[in-house]
Amino acid sequence: DGPSAAASCSATRVAEAACSAGACVAVSCADSWFDCDDRFDNGCEAQLGNLDHCTECGEACAWVCEASGCNDAVSVGVGERHACAIRKDGTVVCWGLNLYGALGNGTLMSSETPVSVETLRNARVVSGGFEHTCALVGEGTVRCWGGNGSQQCDNDRENAVRTPHTVVGVSDAISLATGALHTCIARESGVVECWGSNEAGQLGRGTTTIGRNGRQRAVGISTAVDVAAGQLHTCAALGDGTAMCWGDNSYGQLGDGTTMPRSSPTPVPDLVDVVAVTAGDRHSCALRSDGSVWCWGENAVGQLGNGGTGLSPSPVRVRELADVREIAAGPATARHTCALRRNAELWCWGNNSHGQIGDGTVDVRLVPIRVLADVASVAVGGDSTCASRTDGSLLCWGRNNQGQLGEGSTVTRKTPVPVADLTDVVALSAGSSHTCALTDDGTVDCWGSNAIGQLADGTPDFRAAPGPVAGLDEVTTITAGGTHTCVLTADGTADCWGSNAFGQLGNGSGSMAEYSPAPVVGLSNATAIAAGQAHTCSLSAQAEYVTCWGRNDEGRLGDNT
């Protein structure tokens, strides 16, 4: 007796087979295999569950296939040594250094591949600071995790917040930004609120005292529509098309034509029709309604994009760039800038010492250079960059010493490489060495550096792949500072984690870091949040003010002190 037909045809992955005219003919397929070409004579050629055939024949995924279907990345956020991505279902994964919990998965173990942020759903924006991460969830809630040494996660708990912490009292945030050690949000009412480090006055409350009493209101702002946090400074776009900045001004990063520090918001002269702002290490940029980009501040490595290397305390137009719809220059330690054009092309310029421009070189770029096509969103890290594409895939490049690229190694990449197992990302934010992503189900994932809890997984270990931030729900916005991260949630509250050395987490505690998300005390109805290097600011929907907290030297809290 010879072998059965099924045994003879085992190479065609059939469960039941017959021999016909000397050929194997499939009668039924083996588990997880399917006949996609309606030709039983060549067996069952498609394995369901892979990226080419997810739950049915021909359902191709760009990044991750799950039981429910594709779950691709839609947005990304990059911190100093970690990164996060928002997936299509609203969940978030993070990867990279996790010393203080910036990955948000309840541990302090770093990861070279994405890990899920625990209890985080409906995330809309994710942003990474130096060692913390924040996300904007649902209709305006903010949740943060990671390093909390400066209260950049806005809670009164330990130095590191290992899982997402809801920023108390915020349900209407519209924008979120994380600096190195501070966080800021813009709220529906047009106010900005910040928390965390304030030694340069980056909280905008007129003082340079440490903002350990939670969120602080930036004085004189009532119509903010966007907020951005740099290392020691903060900027806001106002409803009338103007912009204001405050904090450190050593390199002219406030754009007021001087290098004098300002502890309360000061106008950027002659800048009109502003629709968005972004802030890097010691430079700032604004996007105007005509699609042009204007930058000011430090320019030693071409981060202003005007073809030179001299600093400018007043706005200068970025050369060879038009029709821009999104700009990114954070987090607090970044010295390169990227812009996403309306045709979905990504252009970058500035520092390229670790290949963070993505052009395959380490050459400084004094003017913008085209990097990618079909891009949906972009996030700039300290020495790395991540972008989600229109097909839901996620790519990162640049420095990878703490796994902040999320591709499973610690090898620097000079060109874009795929991030492992992360899909449906809707927002990204990058800290100094960590990155966080918000997925369309409102969850947050982080990766990269985690020394001070910026991945929010409860460990100090870096992670080279995305990992989930636990304890977050309905995240709508995420922002990463230098080493802290904050998120807004649908109810207008915020959570922060990571370093809290200057109170940038806004939780009112004396802890140096939080390894899981901790609520920002007293914050409600926030509409936006932004984290700087060591301070944080938010916008309020009802109170009509900007609140900031954290480090306040150089007046970065904007409270006139």
Residue 6 lies in a domain: no
Amino acid at 323: D
Structural domain range at position 150: 48-555
Residue-level pLDDT at 18? 59
Residue-level pLDDT at 213? 55
Residue 20 lies in a domain: no
In whole angstroms, give the CA distance from residue 351 to residue 333. 11
pLDDT class of 544 with cuts at 50, 70, 90: low
Most confident of 3-17, 197-211, 315-329: 315-329
Q: Is the pLDDT of residue 22 over 60?
A: no
Residue-level pLDDT at 30? 67
Residue 204 lies in a domain: yes
SS3 label, residue 490: coil
What pTM did the predictor assign?
Answer: 0.70
Q: Is the pLDDT of residue 280 over 70?
A: yes
Tens-digit pLDDT profile for residues 435-448: 898 888 888 999 88
pLDDT class of 541 with cuts at 50, 70, 90: confident
CA dihedral 392, 397, 399, 404 (to 10 degrees): 10
Rounded average pLDDT over 16-40: 62
Q: Which residues have CB under 8 Å from 134's CB, separation 6+?
A: 126, 127, 142, 143, 144, 145, 153, 167, 176, 178, 183, 429, 436, 477, 478, 479, 480, 481, 484, 485, 486, 487, 488, 494, 495, 496, 497, 529, 531, 536
Give me the percent of the chain exceeding a pLDDT of 90: 48
Residue 29 lies in a domain: no
pLDDT class of 283 with cuts at 50, 70, 90: very high
Rounded average pLDDT over 61-71: 71
User: Do the Cβ atoms of 480 and 144 come closer than 8 Å?
Assistant: no
Alpha helices, DSSP H, located in 105-151: none
Tens-digit pLDDT profile for residues 251-275: 999 999 999 999 899 999 999 999 9
User: Do the Cβ atoms of 235 and 277 come closer than 8 Å?
Assistant: yes
Residue-level pLDDT at 384? 92
Q: Is the pLDDT of residue 175 over 90?
A: yes
In whole angstroms, give the CA distance from residue 536 to residue 8. 67
pLDDT class of 198 with cuts at 50, 70, 90: confident
What CATH number is given to the structural domain containing 375? 2.130.10.30
Give me the percent of the chain exceeding a pLDDT of 70: 86
- Centroid of chain to Cα 96: 13
Across the chain, mean pLDDT equals 86
Tens-digit pLDDT profile for residues 128-142: 988 999 999 999 999
Any idea which of 297-311, 340-354, 405-419, 429-443 has the lowest mean pLDDT? Answer: 429-443
Question: DSSP labels for 430-466?
Answer: E-SSEEEEEETTS-EEEEE--TTSTB-BBS---EEEE
Which burial class, exposed, middle or buried, applies to 39 when counting CB atoms under 10 A from its CB (0-12, 13-18, 19+)? exposed
Q: Is the pLDDT of residue 422 over 90?
A: no
Residue 422 lies in a domain: yes
Residue 19 lies in a domain: no
Residue 27 lies in a domain: no
Q: How many domains does the chain have?
A: 1
E-strand ranges in 239-343 read 243-247, 262-267, 274-279, 283-288, 293-297, 312-317, 324-328, 336-341
